[in-house]
Chains A and B, each alone.
Chain A
């Protein structure tokens, strides 16, 4: 065991005391905070990974963003010594998970990839650990399995739910919702739970909520409603899918989804826009707004989202971000004032779609940024691409799609869509392209 230093104790104490800690400044807690709970006793030693053979790039997060960057940063700049820190020991993709619920795909389709293979195929190190602290002064990332020094750090931890956005502030109620009516947009285990719910549904009302804000995968709640309705229809389940949408209209591919609701599931799907949820009682199974209440027999509650709590714990939140996203250069992704640390994927503050294709294409660009900066160079900005299919029918499988890029408006200093190709006529060609789209992403991340 390595020697435990006072600095390490303080750092861990800071995380405990501050709860939601902190940047390099905030990990050193005020004496009063430390005295309140005392330092957590833990020996922080150097992580047991091979010694760096070149500039070390640590990537936190083995989702679409982190996997893409780990692979392509190494390809762009082979002298990088890349370590991917991922807390999961099994991969399962969030994209295409809605297709599990209607048996268009199986779990094997989503989870037939290995972090071990990704690391071997692409010459980097997979470190199965959970990031818990960051010291940007000494350039160390702390994990539950020791610390890693970095030359460059990419933080790609994804999202967390924000139940307060659905009027739920009681921790017990939030826990019940997280575990009994999960949203299906963070942990793989949520997908298994939702699939079981759908397949075991005996009739009544199944609620799918849609949050406001820039939530992960805009079309996904509507696609899921179609997949659940298709399953009900195919299996003669006397159920209704009630979509309670915070937004005044379907947020994307509205024409294609409305057509599917009306043509395919007119007696199954009921769509209610502008539903501003003020509270949810998971025991009585009632969702309330200022004016109305909705009872449900089962549900997938998608509350609001925020950037991963890790961004807050590392003291990297943009104060102006309603979703607690990171304070980064919107073109180069580095933390403001620190060209060693980058935040990518769904914790970014830019208003891009929080979706797989966006993170994958963004990852290719960020890999080039890292390679350039490691060599004292620079590259020009490239937009991510949001190519997104939504399945709306099964047997035969039919999908709709959108393909879009982003442009920066220097007058308004904001990003907006550009070169948008909306294809809202459902057909089998897009249904088949959808599955190949996902397989391509898996190949791009793992092979």
Chain B
């Protein structure tokens, strides 16, 4: 053979050096804030765009935004707190930052469809030692609870923190995790998870390729790469495409008449099952009460509950006003009871949306910029009160 053959020693040396170098690079970029001017994880840099931000990546963003002398305010929760119908320059968390002033640093880690125990909660928990003065804000629909280790689409963030030992021991959650992973139906997932998380812990491959995908070229097919010329574009070049819900051009889109019946049903239907009429008003059925109290109590580790603010919102008056007087009466009880249950479970909780107009919403649940400003005005005093209560400025 005239061409030199492969020499195993050199090959394996190159392989080992390559993996070590990539692992080091992944670790390095994972701890570097490569999202300058971060506002939120828009759809191109979220699981909807096949981009899966890592715990390290989110922690680096928080460290990049927040000085050690500031109180870190992490906003988690779902599309309402993410700011659907709010362009990024008018997102409600920007207004919250203005109202709170320079002693606080607000970071928006909300994702569409996420629950209180998802991404933002995990990152805040992972940063508990770096930023002991922190407040976590999330929202949840009234009388709704999820697993303590998050919802399926965003659970990857929890798994990263869990397998790398960055979560607190919390018996109810640990019990749920053990039960989930030992269930025969999840064995395949458990095996893949352990393999993935263990290799990622050493090689930091997700951090490295996220950085490549954000800064240089993105290799995973998603709805953002269907056009050939955008196939490999780095995700940093995709704009946040949220629209302004107060712009008159969207007027006919907010409340399509054909959806009235369905949306109104969504506002009121859940409560019909959970409440009994009594001579003194609507009463939450004991089974629902106990189940909700337990679920809320297991959502966030005990040590972190006192610094957690849960927001429970009203739906748009457009649909609220379409409900019967009985539905509306019960609807008021639902929000009141949900706030009380979250408080009894150890959290701070408030209701928002009272007195908002239909124009403050972009649809049934999401707030337009005017509603976002009202939300920020309701949340800011609560954040200050929590900081005061926890002695953050003593």
Same assembly: no
Residues of chain A whose beta carbon lies under 8 Å from any beta carbon of chain B:
none
Residues of chain B whose beta carbon lies under 8 Å from any beta carbon of chain A:
none
